[in-house]
Amino acid sequence: MAELSRPIWPAYLLTVFVAGLGHCYLGQLKRGAAWFALYILALAFLSARTLSGALEPGEPFFVTALQFEAVNYVDVAVPLAVLVVCLLDVYLVGLTKRTDSPATAEAHSNGS
């Protein structure tokens, strides 16, 4: 019963900050872990060109990573696309939970 009364909107905010965290909030742990792994892989492999320059011993990582003029659109497009699709998936999961909850509540109230 407590799960049905939980608001869904925090899942959207959590997903914007960390891909997969909104799924975990909604109780879909495996799905959330899969989205998080996909996002990390996208950051690690598809942004390797940007990160390889940032990991050189000359300057600290955060200083090099925050130099936006050195970052190309291609470096952030795929991780951003993964994050947007993950947010869409959280919306669809939340929509399913929202539409299923009145039917479930009616079935329980009529059955007792």
pLDDT tens by residue, 22-81: 999 999 999 999 999 999 888 777 655 555 555 555 554 444 555 556 666 766 788 888
> How far out from the chain centre does Cα 57 lie?
31
Given a cut of 90, is residue 4 above it in pLDDT? Answer: no
Quote the CA–CA distance of 83 and 38 in Å, as a whole number. Answer: 9
SS3 of residue 26 by DSSP: coil
pLDDT score of 55: 56
The type of residue at 14 is L
Are the CB atoms for 11 and 79 separated by under 8 Å? no
The type of residue at 72 is N
3 or 89, greater pLDDT? 89
Are the CB atoms for 12 and 25 separated by under 8 Å? no
Name the pTM for this structure.
0.67
64-112 pLDDT, tens digit per residue, is: 555 556 666 766 788 888 999 999 999 999 888 888 766 555 555 555 4
Given a cut of 50, is residue 6 above it in pLDDT? Answer: yes
